[in-house]
Structure 1
Amino acid sequence: MALDTRTDRRPSFAGLLWRSTVGKKTAMAVSGIVMLLYLVVHMLGNLKIFFGAADFDAYAAWLRTIGEPFLHHEWFLWIARVVLLAAVVVHAVAAYQLSRRDLAARPTKYARPSPRPRPRRRASYATRTMRWGGVILGLFIVWHILDLTTLTVNPRAEAGHPYANVVATFSTWYGNTVYLVAMLALGLHIRHGFWSAAQTLGAGRPGRDRTLKTLANTLAAALTLGFLAVPVSVMTGVVS
């Protein structure tokens, strides 16, 4: 007589949560907030370039010593990179899977479209903006790492001279073009994403809608202008 060796394996709570639409949206919201906090700190650090080469290079060197002597040299940077990479992967995978579900759930279009205006037109525009903005930002992250971290695509870069490397990048038309397009996409992504994350995490209330929209617009504008200040200043000779 054969024995049934099968075991009743039930999916974990985390697995069930991830499989649900609510769980994926929550994962997107939390990972988005992690990346948003990083962007705020990163932008403030970038603005130190206006204090001159010595201050900016010293700031870049300090980032590699955070946590010493408890942490070894550059450990903090690598921990931050791993956390950010995890946030980016979770955000991208959840966005892709939600997009596939949305496409699969759409009803079949009628042969003759209704003359009435589409009630979801605004939502569809926001969805397309987030989708393509995410693709642009994903490609930009790869280019940005190759440009100012590994210095692979920055022909005039020199290790240990971050100020000069930034100036070298934004002294080229293609460096400025890539950065400008990416930062505009970032602003739109934050504007729509912050609002969506607030709704997902339950912060949205009828009385808070105006405040949340104002905060989303302010964050998007501040980050976009803050990041664009560096390439524009190099282009105009303010930073050289």
Structure 2
Amino acid sequence: MSTAAVGLRRNPAATFWGSTNGKKAVMAVTGAILFGFIIGHLAGNLQIFEGREKLNAYGRFLHSIGELLWPVRIVLIVSVLLHITATVQLWLLKKRARPVGYSRKEAIASSYASRTMYWSGPIVLAFVIFHLLQFTAGYIHPESQFIEGDVYHNVVAGFQVWWVSVWYIFSVCLLGFHLSHGISSMFQSLGYNHPKHTPVLKSAAVAIAVIITLGYISIPISVLLGIVK
């Protein structure tokens, strides 16, 4: 037995990570952390409907606790990296287990959300990076000036550019598909799988994903329609 194999057996963390169930558990836990951030971020963003002062006050509050935000940011970054790594490694294991594809692939038991899980994740990640560069850093702000501290202006001016809003809506819809499958899979990965409760959990996951998606896309749509000016 090689030294690496012996080390893997003696290290519980490495053994856990090396197993399929371990990777699924890591995906579930990191997914839950990221889901909490999505909910909190949505709650903050929806304050745009309460007016400029309310949203800008929220922005000033986040800026005032900047040092406390760094531990949160570190946890989120680590969660994203672990989530993506576990997803890619599980996909490679699945592909390795069946190197020859089906002669006729029928998506009977799988949903559209589950079939798009692997490629929707990277697209959403690309969207998040673009979103941060536009609204947080101000490096990408087409057709308008980025004003430091005026969150309301930056959001409205950004979404008045039609292709920015379309990209945002498209990415958030993909996020919704990702969530609808990910939420129900999280419970299965943690061992909570029962014929009686699983259909209910899947329906609840879809409902939650739809609500979150509508909440996020309501902002660019309201800007484009002139409801938020």
TM over 0.5: yes
**2:141 corresponding residue in structure 1:** 154
Aligned counterpart, 1:71:
none
The code of the aligned residue for 2:196 comes to G
Q: Any gaps of 5 or more consecutive residues in structure 2?
A: none
Alpha-carbon distance in 1 for matches of 2:128, 2:44: 17
Match in the other structure for 1:130: 117
Is residue 131 of structure 2 the alignment partner of residue 144 of structure 1? yes
Mapped contact 1:35–1:84 kept (Cα < 8 A): yes
Could you tell me which of 73, 93, 99 is aligned with 1:101? 93
CA RMSD, Structure 1 to Structure 2 (Å): 2.0
Distance 1:39 1:109, change over 3 A: closer
Q: Which residue of 1 aligns with 2:41?
A: 42
CA radius of gyration, larger in: 1
Paired residue for 1:21? 20
Instruction: Report the 3-state secondary structure (helix = DSSP H, G, I; strand = E; otherwise coil) of the residue aligned with 1:169.
Output: helix
Q: Are the structure 2 counterparts of residues 191 and 142 from structure 1 closer, same or farther at C-alpha, using a change threshold of 3 Å? A: same
Is 2:201 aligned against 1:212?
yes
2:58 aligns with: 59
Deviation at 1:140, TM superposition (A): 0.5
| Structure 1 residues 157-168: aligned runs within 5 Å | 157-168=146-157
Aligned residues: 223
Q: For 2:14 and 2:197, locate their aligned partners in 1 and report how far apart those are by CA, in whole Å.
A: 32
Alignment map for 1:186-205 (pairs within 5 Å) = 186-205=175-194
For residues 14 and 134 of structure 2, the distance between their equivalents in structure 1, rounded to whole angstroms, comes to: 37
In structure 2, the CA distance between the partners of 1:126 and 1:48, relative to structure 1 (3 Å rule), is closer
Contact 2:113 2:177 in 1 (8 A): no
Say which structure is richer in helix.
2
**Cα contact 2:42–2:215 (8 A) shared by 1:** yes
In structure 1, runs of 5+ residues without a counterpart are 1-5, 67-73
Query: Offset of 1:109 from its aligned partner?
Result: 5.0
Contact 1:48 1:56 in 2 (8 A): yes
User: For residue 130 of structure 1, what is the amino acid of its counterpart?
Assistant: M
Task: Give the residue type in structure 2 aligned to 1:134.
Answer: G
Q: Give the % identical residues.
A: 37
How much does 1:49 deviate? 0.4
- SS across alignment from 2:116: helix
TM-score w.r.t. the length of structure 1 is 0.86
Decide whether aligned partners of structure 1 residues 167 and 139 sit closer, same or farther in structure 2, where only a CA change above 3 A counts.
Answer: same
Q: TM-score when scaled to structure 2?
A: 0.90
